[in-house]
Amino acid sequence: MADPVAEVPSWRFQRAPDRLVVDDVEVALRRDGAGETVLFLHGVGFLRQWLPFHAALTERVDLIAPEHPGFGDTPLPGGFRGFLDYVLHYDALLALLQADRLHLVGHGLGARLAAHMATVYPSRFASLTLIAPSGLRQEQEPLIDLFRMTYDALHAAQFNGREAAYADTYALKGFPQDTLDDVADAVPHALLTWTNRFDRRLERRLHRIQCPTLVIAPEQDRIGGTTAAARYAELVPGSALVTPAGPGGDPSSYAVLIEQPAEVAALVADHVDSTTKGN
Amino acid sequence: MVEREFFVMLHGAYPKVPYAPKRGSNFVDLPNGVYDKAEGQRVLERQASTFVSLEELGFDGGVVSEQHNGPIGLLGNPMIMGAYVAAQTRSIKIGVVGPIINDYLTPVRMAEEYAALDNLSRGRLLLGLPMGHGMQYHSIGMINPATARARYREAHDLFVKALTHEGPFEWFGEYFQIPYVNLWPRPLQEAPDILILGGGSPETLELVARHRYGYQQVGAFSQAAMKKTTDRLRELCEAQGYSVSPRQIWGLVSVHVAETDAQARLEAEAHSLWNSQNFFLSPFNDNFPPGYLSQAAMRGVLGGGYRSESSEKNTFERSVDSGTLIVGSPLTVSTRLAEFLATLAPGRVLLDFGLDSKPEWLGRKTMQLFAEEVMPQLRNGGVPVSQHRKLPGYESRSEYGATRNPDSPEPVVNLGTGGLINVETSHIASERLIVEPWRA
């Protein structure tokens, strides 16, 4: 969670969040659009913003985009220890919003969390979309250790070296506040994954997912790894795998939803539509 | 003259490694293919023999630490070195700083090890309770740094209670749930002698003040920075309702002594910089895994605190000018060390002779010069405090006979003769007497 001492300047995609109290946690949440309700679970990075990807999705769906406990402007409750705490948190959040029919979309770590939710509640969601999901791998793929990367290296990995053009999505407040925010956001990230880099339990449970599932796999994911998305697609029954081409002939990246917001939003919305209109 | 104790830091680093700036750091993932078994044996044997030699030289004790996954130190568990030194010495304090309590599945196991070593060393154990370098969290595989501080605090409380309270007692905490905490053996020391090494974080200083522990700041760039932290500790102790004891204040300083000032610099300069450029060098993300520091402490780091600057940038002159390194003839070192002691007023001084990259003979030379020419200037009669005191426990079998509890139960056995007999005299036919009726 952000350091409360910090001043709050403005940045390009800033949009003040709404607040929703969920089991004593004051959640920072942004919501817009109309149509089928979609819960979007963010990944590592690009917080505190309403990005073009969000805006593009709201043209076709009712988008709910909260910040997870411990990330962005949502505080981390003392008792949170693992994915189940986050799953139960979102169960409570959805109950508060009375969102009975719902589509689930996640990016990176958020996709992994979405997959956990769909295994715990296999018949609850109308569809599931995993964008550059992390936390699984096929054998022999080396670990990408995000916790040892400098923040510059992390941004380069997110965009496959094209990060300079997107600095306004990760350089928001300047030094030292951006670093303090990154450090703070890394705590719940570590809580979930430091001793659970590859999620054996999830791997064993993915077969429980019953809803139509789309896996969006970047051509070169330097955050989640090159085999993670394929592994999800292999284990989630009946899932479809799609790989968007990258910009200008370069391989698409973990930040595919920032580099190609309209295209990814269309993939998500089409998948949502495909499960609601019988086509 | 103040009764002051002098300890020696024995890192036991493995020096024959690639130049660290070539790869950014030698922590965490320097391939152990560069490890030479003969060299490693030499490092460990040298660390052990140097520790033992401290008694003959007249120091009060030595300090070894727990390190993992790299050349910074070869002791995954410093208790092992403590056990060796306990067997080889009679009076010096044995500082083990580790062990890292979070590396244990349960702090009860660590309390058992501590208690056994405290007995074997006759109550000479000095214990550190470090959080461990941030770098170690990347490799030890048990600790999630996001919960490490909370787990550490609970582990600390359980560990100390296990050592100081009679059992069995139950412990149902957030991280440990143990129906019966019941320590065997119990330590000889009534209360553990604990030294906390830290980077000056407010959380750690408060813990030290609350428990009246010793504190040594590490990673400080100047005497002035150490003084600031020490003053803060004094204030926190006052807030707890007592004045800090000199034994709580540790002063860490790097030292090299030679015959002349010029010779001392010649001998020390490259080795001091080897430490800065190879031994300490570690990048930000390795130093500070998520949750390792509070946000307040991290703000301090980003503003110029602990490990905020690459150690590679350090220079010999800067170390000398800042007072963290004292180099010179015995007279120069005595004078500057007296100034250091006047500034910090430590009851316990931790000396780092930078032995790891120095040839063994050079390390022995500087330590002997310090012992014979410098320490006597700073301590009455040159006699270590450790040789003044009566150690806990018995000194001889005669004292054992005099001090053991006569009311302890005798070991008895049922031989089917209608009652229990004392097994200690069972080898004497006439002494196979029933000491207590028993029917079973």
Q: Where are the domains of chain A?
A: 18-276
**Do B360 and B230 reside in the same domain of the chain?**
yes
**Do B416 and B320 reside in the same domain of the chain?**
no
Q: Give a yes or no: residue B122 inside a domain.
A: yes
Instruction: Average the pLDDT over B342-354 and give the result.
Output: 95
**Do B381 and B413 reside in the same domain of the chain?**
no
Cβ contact, residue pair B144, A189, below 8 Å: no
Query: Has residue B197 got a pLDDT over 70?
Result: yes
User: B304 touching A, CB under 8 A?
Assistant: no
**In the CATH scheme, what is the code of domain A18-276?**
3.40.50.1820
The predicted-structure confidence for B132-152, as pLDDT tens digits, reads as follows 889 999 988 878 999 999 999
ipTM of the complex: 0.90
Q: What is the DSSP letter of B249?
A: B
B303 interaction partners in chain A (CB closer than 8 Å): 176
Q: Best of B147, B292, B293 to disrupt the A interface by mutation (most A CBs within 10 Å)?
A: B147
**Do B422 and B364 reside in the same domain of the chain?**
no
Domain count within chain B = 2
Q: Give a yes or no: residue B404 inside a domain.
A: no
- Which three-class secondary structure state does DSSP give residue B42? helix
Count CB-CB contacts under 10 A for residue B343: 15
Query: Has residue B388 got a pLDDT over 90?
Result: no
Distance from CA of B170 to the nearest CA of A (A): 22
CA B307 from centroid of its chain's CA atoms:
21
Q: What is the DSSP letter of B10?
A: -
* Gap between the Cα atoms of B334 and B337, Å rounded: 5
* Gap between the Cα atoms of B175 and B148, Å rounded: 10
Q: Give a yes or no: residue B400 inside a domain.
A: no
* A148 to chain B: closest CA residue: B285
**Do B379 and B424 reside in the same domain of the chain?**
no
Full residue range of the structural domain in which residue B431 is found: 409-437
**Do B316 and B367 reside in the same domain of the chain?**
yes
**Do B311 and B433 reside in the same domain of the chain?**
no
B217, B189 contact by CB (below 8 A): no
- Which three-class secondary structure state does DSSP give residue B113? helix
Query: Has residue B183 got a pLDDT over 80?
Result: yes
* A186 to chain B: closest CA residue: B290
Query: Has residue B308 got a pLDDT over 90?
Result: no
Distance from CA of B130 to the nearest CA of A (A): 20
* CATH number of the domain encompassing residue B27: 3.20.20.30
pLDDT band at B309 (very low <50, low <70, confident <90, very high): low
* Gap between the Cα atoms of A10 and A18, Å rounded: 17
Q: Which of B284, B306, B101 is nearest to B202 (CA)?
A: B306
Q: Give a yes or no: residue B228 inside a domain.
A: yes
Q: Give a yes or no: residue B64 inside a domain.
A: yes
Cβ contact, residue pair A147, B283, below 8 Å: no
The amino acid present at A81, given as its one-letter code, is R
* Gap between the Cα atoms of A14 and B196, Å rounded: 44
**Do B116 and B226 reside in the same domain of the chain?**
yes
Nearest CB to B290; choose among A3, A175, A183: A183
Q: Give a yes or no: residue B394 inside a domain.
A: no
**Do B364 and B424 reside in the same domain of the chain?**
no
Sign of the torsion angle spanned by Cα atoms A254, A255, A260, A262: positive
CA B373 from centroid of its chain's CA atoms:
26
The predicted-structure confidence for A112-122, as pLDDT tens digits, reads as follows 999 999 999 99
User: A7 touching B, CB under 8 A?
Assistant: no
* Gap between the Cα atoms of A211 and A117, Å rounded: 12
A111, A132 contact by CB (below 8 A): yes
Q: Give a yes or no: residue B321 inside a domain.
A: yes
Q: Are strands B419-422 and B412-414 parallel, antiparallel or unpaired?
A: antiparallel
Distances (CA, A) of A170 to A146, A156, A233: 16, 11, 29
Q: Which residue has the higher pLDDT, B169 or B197?
A: B169
**Do B289 and B429 reside in the same domain of the chain?**
no
User: A142 touching B, CB under 8 A?
Assistant: no
**Do B418 and B378 reside in the same domain of the chain?**
no
User: B138 touching A, CB under 8 A?
Assistant: yes
The predicted-structure confidence for B71-94, as pLDDT tens digits, reads as follows 999 999 999 999 999 999 999 999
Q: Give a yes or no: residue B360 inside a domain.
A: yes
pLDDT band at A279 (very low <50, low <70, confident <90, very high): very low
* Gap between the Cα atoms of B46 and B371, Å rounded: 19
A194 interaction partners in chain B (CB closer than 8 Å): 137, 144-146, 289-290
Nearest CB to B144; choose among A183, A184, A190: A190
User: A176 touching B, CB under 8 A?
Assistant: yes
